[in-house]
Amino acid sequence: MTALSSVAVVGLGYIGLPTAVSLATGGLEVIGVDVNAGIVERVNRGETPFAEPDLSVAVSGAVAMGRLRAQQEMPQADAYVIAVPTPFAGDHQADLSYVTAAAEAVAGVLRGGEVIVLESTAPPGTTRRVSELIAARRPDLHLPHVPDVPPDVHVAHCPERVLPGRIMIEIATNDRVIGGLTPACAARAVELYRTFCHGELIVTDAASAEMVKLAENAYRDVNIAFANELSLICQRLGLDVWEIRQMANHHPRVDILRPGPGVGGHCVAVDPWFIVAAAPDLARLTATARAVNDHMPAHTAEQIVATSRRFRDPRIACLGLAFKADVGDMRESPAVDITARVAAALPEVKIHVAEPHAPGLPGRLGEFGNVVLTDAEHAIADSDVIALLVDHSCFRAVKKTQLAGKVVYDTRGMWA
């Protein structure tokens, strides 16, 4: 088996681009592939299409050194890393159309001897499906899902578990689970990841690796749902959930997470559905946790609207739009959902929005004439009702005197 020297990373998003640049830094020739011409152009100019600490300097360096380039066409390479989106469709079933398109494009250029790694989070069985898809397109090649025939191409799954905001550090240091369709497939993928990953590389089969990733996010979702449910119960009973949580967590084996306005982002709010879809009759807790967390934005918006109606001419500040603290990513963000619900319920009320990590309002909020983007200081000063929706570190600097005389709805317990 020859050493790997070139790799195509398919999908240059939040995961693919950091992976591409890390592989380039690890010494490989990297070709980034994306269907989006704008992203390809930006990467080739040494720019990043989204903000992530340390990514920009790494991309400009790798492009300048000739180790990373981007293009729309699928190239021939020794290895392929597929990092395309895996959203769910309306019925909460995984939408694997991006994975299918990427796999078919890779199939068209294979020569034999390559390793293909699916990084996209996917339901159990998807890596095998990738192998089957390629086999259907390339009857001249042996793929590893067929037993007892030495494969011409290796196929594996290596899910990603980086934290946005720390991607460039964690991509190099986190432990990784690598699941091969065969042990030889896993070994070939280990060879690829060893070039830049200094964490432990844990080897398993592909379906187990797929399930590990889903289990990680479902675990987070279920535990957040418990905290959210507790906050609703405490609210009804007139108890302070933050105090209850703090006291309960003195128990040496209890660690209740912080409640909040809901769960967003591309992972925790999405991946548990893949478990539910795989075993709907068994995944009762997982499905209920999703329902609890999905209900939180509507509940939070109702509370803000009800509080605001107590004022004759209310003005509202919504602090934070991102799906989590200290990032600008607004995908599936409960804060955006809450702000939109409040703006729709109170069309005559001005909503001041402060999101220091984003350059502008997301499209969904741009439609409302009563939503204006400003900074936190002005938003607070000009409002009667202050809704803290995201616990960005900068909001910690808000002084008690700034909030005096206002109704504060602190969904993250930051000022509790």
Ligand X SMILES: NC(=O)c1ccc[n+]([C@@H]2O[C@H](COP(=O)([O-])OP(=O)(O)OC[C@H]3O[C@@H](n4cnc5c(N)ncnc54)[C@H](O)[C@@H]3O)[C@@H](O)[C@H]2O)c1
Cα(269)–Cα(261) distance, rounded to whole angstroms? 13
Question: Which region among 81-89, 137-145, 187-195, 272-280 touches ligand X (by CB under 6 A)?
Answer: 81-89
213 is catalytic: yes
- Least separation, in Å, of the C-beta of 376 and ligand X? 25
Nearer to ligand X, 12 or 218 (CB): 12
What would the x/- binding string for ligand X be over residues 268 to 287, using CB under 6 A? --------------------
| Residues 321-380, interacting with ligand X (CB under 6 A) | none
Question: Which region among 27-35, 248-256, 294-302, 335-343 touches ligand X (by CB under 6 A)?
Answer: 27-35
Residue of 7, 10, 106, 275 interacting with ligand X (CB under 6 A): 10
Considering the rule CB under 6 A, would residue 101 count as an interface residue with ligand X?
Answer: yes
- Least separation, in Å, of the C-beta of 323 and ligand X? 10
- Least separation, in Å, of the C-beta of 104 and ligand X? 9
Residue in 267, 318, 350, 399 annotated catalytic: 267
Interface size with ligand X, residues (CB under 6 A) = 27
Nearer to ligand X, 35 or 184 (CB): 35
Considering the rule CB under 6 A, would residue 59 count as an interface residue with ligand X?
Answer: no
Nearer to ligand X, 84 or 304 (CB): 84
What would the x/- binding string for ligand X be over residues 156 to 175, using CB under 6 A? ----x-x-x-----------
Considering the rule CB under 6 A, would residue 267 count as an interface residue with ligand X?
Answer: yes
Considering the rule CB under 6 A, would residue 102 count as an interface residue with ligand X?
Answer: yes
- Least separation, in Å, of the C-beta of 416 and ligand X? 28
Nearer to ligand X, 98 or 395 (CB): 98
Considering the rule CB under 6 A, would residue 212 count as an interface residue with ligand X?
Answer: no
324 is catalytic: no
3-state secondary structure the chain: CCCCCEEEEECCCCCHHHHHHHHHHCCCEEEEECCCHHHHHHHHCCCCCCCCCCHHHHHHHHHHCCCEEEECCCCCCCEEEECCCCCECCCCCECCHHHHHHHHHHHCCCCCCCEEEECCCCCCCHHHHHHHHHHHHCCCCCCCCCCCCCCCCEEEECCCCCCCCCHHHHHHHCCEEEEECCHHHHHHHHHHHCCCCCCCEEEEEHHHHHHHHHHHHHHHHHHHHHHHHHHHHHHHHCCCHHHHHHHHCCCCCCCCCCCCCCCCCCCCCCCHHHHHHHCCCCCHHHHHHHHHHHHHHHHHHHHHHHHHCCCCCCCEEEECCCCCCCCCCCCCCHHHHHHHHHHHHCCCCCEEEECCCCCCCCHHHHCCCCEEEECHHHHHHCCCEEEECCCCHHHHHCCHHHHCCCEEEECCCCCC
Q: Which residues are catalytic?
A: 213, 267
Residues at the contact surface with ligand X, assessed by CB under 6 A = 10-16, 33-36, 39, 83-86, 98, 101-102, 119-121, 160, 162, 164, 266-267
